[in-house]
Structure 1
Amino acid sequence: MGGIRKMSDDGWKASAKAWIKDMGETGDYGRQYVLDAPMIERLRRLGGGRALDVGCGEGRFCRILRREGFDPVGLDPTSELLAAARTRDPDGTYVEGRAEALDFADASFDLVVSCLSLIDIEPAGQAIAEMVRVLKPGGTLLVANLTSFSTARAGQGWRRDLLGRRTHFGIDRYLEPRSGWEAWRGIRIVNWHRPLRDYMQWFLGQGLTLTHFDEPEPTGGPEDRADRYRRVPWYLIMEWRKT
């Protein structure tokens, strides 16, 4: 996730250094072993074009887009993350901006990508409308997001027995949109939970057609970690067409 939110105190500026270190070149477990393969598969079906990566962070997915034959523009409001993106990809195009007020003309892109950024955006409905506005007719909006099951977790989610074994994953207040602080490995940022209903209504309200939906399984990595991602659907992928 890159950092996009109206409020300045969302933790991204203070967490940028830790985020860049945590992502490295290959990304975290979820990106490397769960999301990358199915996201790249969708890109290869599209065949290139001009792309906008909304919430590009340190630019990892922009570099993937370039390798897959796209001409990407990365957008993020956090200058520290953009500086890292430009250092790692000197020939790339990275601009500072917010998803809810994109500074691009209508119908500017063949592809718009939101890769784990919607959970960072407070006015997500407005941001989705902006992504659709800058998308060409016939263009594709490709979204990866945390599932609403995972963001609705109660406490840390996993419940354990007396031996410390994970027994089940608890969720609560699923239908109640809310924000909260998430912290791990020196990163502390605000994430948003919303029921899937809200996202679907925003996309459908823009007149988009859903052409692909997936809750991808892990494809590698440590088996104990992969097992956790199989037991609980952590990510979803949606592909929408502007018709």
Structure 2
Amino acid sequence: MSDPPFSNDPNSNGWAESAAAWIADMGEHGDYGRRYVLDPVIRQRLGERGFRKALDVGCGEGRLCRMLSGFGIETIGLDPTQALLDQARRSHPEGRYVEGVAEALPFEDAGFDLVVSCLSLIDIPGFEAAIAEMARVLAPGGTLFVANLTSFATARIDAPILERWVNSPGVRIDRYLEQRSSWEAWRGIRIVNWHRPLSAYMAAFLGAGLRLTHFDEPAPVGGDPAKAERYRGVPWYVVMEWEKPA
């Protein structure tokens, strides 16, 4: 697949140009990390807890919304990229998908007992405002479920993000405490990702008045043994659950 066309818009983050390549890359089941690392955690942590209404912030092509709906949870997906929302609606016509940004969620206070941010914080420029908004729309006693790339994975600056832990006999973390964005490209996708230290995220969650109830760095479950070994050998994802005090 050829690379997406370069955008001349200085405000572009690459998602509109990369939407077709992203949809093709994800397919129905997602990439290895989603299918064999995060999906088992999501099924275990969210599948049978009685959640009634969920918001997926940064839903993309809607794969996670379909999963949550399969658990019997009324789910709304929000994303700023129209082409991804169009695909979500084609794949899940009975679902509800809304165009918008995480920093200004178009929903009332306390409207959801579950809010999910799955690998979307690295895409959001105003992450502190986004986390505050997620806390605002979360009902008291509700859960904010977050899956993110570990900050170690985003801290390297000398290789594309998907190669940083591969073919690197001496992995070097650099400029870890510096918040910064970078263009990342792989398999026809070219988008802006953000690196932030874990402490920046934790301060934002705590500042929003949330309480940490679960923290994990999940290992892979099944799939290609070579890929599983790669995901076991180095940190890749972090999973957190935050509760809004009742």
**Correspondence list, 1:29-178, <5 A:** 29-156=32-159, 157-158=164-165, 160=167, 166-178=168-180
Contact 1:159 1:170 in 2 (8 A): no
Q: Which residue of 1 aligns with 2:7?
A: none
Q: Which residue of 2 aligns with 1:163?
A: none
Identity %: 64
CA distance in 2, matches of 1:76, 1:148: 23
Contact 1:19 1:187 in 2 (8 A): yes
CA distance in 2, matches of 1:23, 1:153: 24
2:19 to 12, 16, 20: 16
1:169 Cα offset (Å): 2.5
CA distance in 2, matches of 1:210, 1:95: 28
Contact 1:215 1:237 in 2 (8 A): yes
CA distance in 1, matches of 2:37, 2:23: 20
Q: Which residue of 2 aligns with 1:219?
A: 221
AA at the equivalent of 2:242: W
Q: Which residue of 1 aligns with 2:190?
A: 188
Q: Name structure 1 gaps, 5 residues minimum.
A: 1-6, 161-165
1:231 Cα offset (Å): 1.3
CA distance in 2, matches of 1:197, 1:236: 13
1:117 Cα offset (Å): 0.3
SS at match of 2:212: strand
What RMSD in Å do the two structures reach over aligned CA positions? Answer: 1.2
Q: Which residue of 2 aligns with 1:230?
A: 232
CA distance in 2, matches of 1:188, 1:15: 6
CA distance in 2, matches of 1:159, 1:20: 24
Cα deviations by residue, 1:127-178 (Å, 9 ceiling, x for unpaired): 0000000010001000000000000024232475xxxxx5243221111100
Q: Which residue of 1 aligns with 2:6?
A: none
Number of aligned positions between the proteins: 232
CA distance in 2, matches of 1:134, 1:74: 14
CA distance in 1, matches of 2:116, 2:51: 13
SS at match of 2:171: strand
Contact 1:50 1:72 in 2 (8 A): yes
CA distance in 2, matches of 1:189, 1:212: 30
CA distance in 2, matches of 1:18, 1:144: 22
CA distance in 1, matches of 2:236, 2:170: 14
1:125 Cα offset (Å): 0.3
1:47 Cα offset (Å): 1.3
CA distance in 2, matches of 1:87, 1:235: 29
1:225 Cα offset (Å): 1.4
Moved over 4 A (4+): none
CA distance in 2, matches of 1:100, 1:229: 31
Q: Which residue of 2 aligns with 1:4?
A: none
- Change in CA separation of 1:30 and 1:197 when aligned onto 2, cut-off 3 Å: same
- Change in CA separation of 1:93 and 1:76 when aligned onto 2, cut-off 3 Å: same
Contact 1:179 1:192 in 2 (8 A): yes
Between 38-47 and 171-180, the greater mean CA deviation after superposition: 38-47
TM-score, normalising length from structure 2?
0.91
